[in-house]
Amino acid sequence: MVADFARDDRKVAMLFLLPGVGALLVTYLVPLAYSLGLSFSEWDIRKPGAQWVLSGFGNYTDLLTSEGFWRAGLRSLIFTLAALPIELVLGTMIALLLTSEMVSSKLSALTRVLMLVPLMLPPVVLGILWRLLLNVNYGPVNSLLGLVGLGPFTWAAAPDTAMATIVLVEVIANTSVVSMILIGGLLSLPPEPIRAAEVDGAGPWRILFEIKLPQLASYYLIIVLIRVMDLLKTFDFIYALTGGGPGDSTSMLNLFIYRVGQRFLDYPMASAASWVFLVALLPLSIWLLIKAVASSKDYLND
């Protein structure tokens, strides 16, 4: 941009950068290098005092031919692709509802504050809470659905329904993110085109689909990027709600890696799995980077 600040400042600048950059090196570069080395190694942890030795691509070939890994990856994908569209549609509907002129503004303001609650709930608490709510025998959800003749459902307790349950809880917890971003977007829309369309006789649906939503495209892009990254990373509430079970029906990549490493103590394999996961995330990350760097042009003196 502008060379507004003096060249002598560079020394101080380096000093300013030191703690942050140092911490990033220690907390990212060192463990990543370590895990990369480990992923190409063998380590017989049963022998006391044994160290790991480089051994080539063995872990990667084992991993990529193991059914468990692919199933976990597929589950991550299913979870993400199931939750995302539901959150987008529901989030849009809630945002429209809460900005609608037909709903009392006090009530919608109250709802907006209350929507913070599921969002701010610690993920572990979220998992525990839904464990209680969806308990097959003593939970209120099955009992209430029973009153209208539905169920009883097995929810998280059976492999067939566990994944759908996880998606349901995820949607309830995080649709607020989508709504809150969109509410901001909807309120910032210029009113003139909407008024003009109304005068010209356009119905509410046409105004929605041809005027409001297209103007929110950039908001949707950000939402999709953020949600996809977070959905793929989801660990905490699933750990507390199902622990990846029953069986391995909700064991997604994160839980798979955690289990391989912490339960079966196969550190090289877990490292290899993390690297495959990272590489799989790469296209998405690069896309996000391009978007973010493009939007940050004005933040930088570059």
Show contacts with another protein in window 42-71 (CB under 8 A): none
91 forms part of the interface with another protein (CB under 8 A): no
Q: Closest CB to another protein among 61 and 143?
A: 143
Distance of CA 208 to the CA centre of its chain: 28
Q: Name the packing angle between helices 159-187 and 67-99 (round to 10°).
A: 40
Site for another protein in 202-221 (CB under 8 A): 219
Q: How far apart are CA 71 and CA 256, in angstroms?
A: 10
Determine contact, residues 242/162, Cβ cutoff 8 Å: yes
User: Which residues touch 161 (CB under 8 Å, ≥6 apart)?
Assistant: 153, 154, 155
Integer Cα distance of 79 and 182 in angstroms: 23
Residue pair 57/65 in contact (Cβ under 8 Å)? The answer is no
Among 73, 154, 207, 236, binds another protein (CB under 8 A): 236
Q: How many Å apart are CA 2 and CA 42, to the nearest integer?
A: 53
Footprint of another protein on 253-272 (CB under 8 A): 253-254, 257-258, 261-262, 267, 270-271
131 residue type, one letter? R
Q: Minimal distance in Å, beta carbon 262 to another protein? A: 6
Footprint on residues 3-42 left by another protein (CB under 8 A):
3-6, 8-10, 12-13, 16-17, 19-21, 23-24, 26-28, 30-32, 34-35, 38
Name the burial class of residue 253, with classes exposed (0-12), middle (13-18) and buried (19+) by CB atoms within 10 angstroms of its CB. Answer: buried
Please state the closest distance from residue 205 (CB atom) to another protein, in A: 12
Please identify which residue in 72, 115, 162, 167 interacts with another protein, judged by CB under 8 A: 115
Residue 247 as a binder of another protein (CB under 8 A): the answer is no
- The correct pick among 63, 82, 94, 163 for binding another protein (CB under 8 A) is 94
The residue within the footprint of another protein, chosen from 118, 151, 159, 246 (CB under 8 A), is 118
- Count, residues near another protein per rule CB under 8 A: 104
Rg (CA), the chain: 24
